Amino acid sequence: MSIKLRNKHFTGVFVLLVGLVGVLSCSKDDDLPITGEEETPFAFRQPAFFPKAVESAIDPKTGLPSNPLTETGVELGRRLFYDPILSVNKQVSCASCHHQSKGFSDGVAFTTAGVSGKPLERHSPTLINLAWTDKGFFWDGGSTNLESQAFGPLTHADEMGMYLPVLVERLRADATYVELFQKAFGELPSEHRTAMALSQFQRMLISADAPYDFYRREEQPDALSAEQLRGLNLVRQKCGSCHAGELFTDNEFHNNGIDDDFGDGSHEGIYWGRYRITYNPLDLGAFKTPTLRNVMVSAPYMHDGRFKTIDEVLNHYRFDIKDTPVTASVLYQNKDQVGIPMTDKEVEDIKSFLNALTDETFLKNREFSNPFK
């Protein structure tokens, strides 16, 4: 096993995020009103049995959330999410890598949809129930909140490649955006208000209407078949340590034994996982637990999209987990040996239940769809 730990300064997206987090609070426009007079709070949905949603950071001046959801803010964020004007060549939008029909993932391991045409080094994650994410964004948690997260893809040379002053210039030259920013924030377009609008839209991408939810809320007691009920119990028993609760994720970072060689720190430590953020050796190779919601439409899987099907994922946990000093302890379920015992019949029951986590309402909700169509 090759594990070489070096204390080095990373360049690229992570450093960019650290440098730009202050944009949210250190702007010449900060003394302007946060919202316009016409603004109406957004009616946020708190699904039954879900934990309390995570609010945006608290503004120390007011003691209130710094980015409260509003109707015009959410609609502005939706428009920005689908608008390629945010990319340097005006050809790439956030939606280029996050397709609603795939749970806002993109169906490929490493997308080449960015402005450079080069494959990215990580798989585009789903965007589902982000309002409950409290442990950081990206596969390694390199961004602490949705607002700062937005600057990563916006400025990355292989994604949207945007120079933020040019972005602001473009938006201020667009009469429609000037009007929408004035309505949402009471001021002209700016880079940090752009990030705030994008995060407002993403916070309301809520998936809570799958057959499982109808069963859980007792709206349709027969929504799950006998096979799916067995699968639900198996998921809780065998997978629930990480894919926990109603969110089907603990939002934590785990080494799930897919590798036993984590590289030497090249490529900005991309293979180090959470360790590249924390420098805690126990975080080596640890990546964020994705939700199981809409998992059957969001292949491929893992941070690098290496598994094309759910069968490959389950086979990994049954037979192929790597036994390393940093492999998550919850994966030692086979008489204290690495692996999660599952019979072929149990695999079929689990897959049947996972289908019951597909939320067609979420995947087709026009409030989440491209406003330009």
pLDDT in tens, 50-99: 999 988 877 888 888 889 999 999 999 999 999 999 999 999 999 999 99
CB 50 within 8 A of CB 208: yes
CATH 2.40.110.10 fits 211-361, yes or no: no
pLDDT at 58: 78
- Give the whole-angstrom CA distance, residue 208 versus residue 201: 17
pLDDT at 38: 54
- Give the whole-angstrom CA distance, residue 204 versus residue 75: 11
- Give the whole-angstrom CA distance, residue 367 versus residue 359: 15
pTM summary value? 0.88
Q: Which of 215, 213, 201 is nearest to 248 (CA)?
A: 213
Structural tokens at position 75: 């609609």
Q: What b/e string do you get for 84-105 counting C-beta neighbours within 10 Å, with b at 16 or more? A: bebbbeeebbbbbbbbbebbbb
From the CB of residue 292, how many other CB atoms can be counted at a distance below 10 Å?
Answer: 22
**Domain limits, CATH 1.10.760.10, in the chain:** 13-206, 211-361
Q: What is the fold, at CATH topology level, of the domain defined by 13-206?
A: Cytochrome Bc1 Complex; Chain D, domain 2 (1.10.760)
pLDDT at 128: 98
Residues of the chain with pLDDT under 70: 1-38
- Give the whole-angstrom CA distance, residue 262 versus residue 304: 13
Helices 164-172 & 191-203, crossing angle to 10 degrees?
A: 80
For 260-305, the three-class secondary structure string (H helix, E strand, C coil) is CCCCCCHHHHCCCECHHHHCCHHHCCEEECCCCCCHHHCCCECCCC
245 residue type, one letter: G
From the CB of residue 22, how many other CB atoms can be counted at a distance below 10 Å?
Answer: 11
- Give the whole-angstrom CA distance, residue 8 versus residue 269: 10
- Give the whole-angstrom CA distance, residue 315 versus residue 339: 10
CB 244 within 8 A of CB 309: no
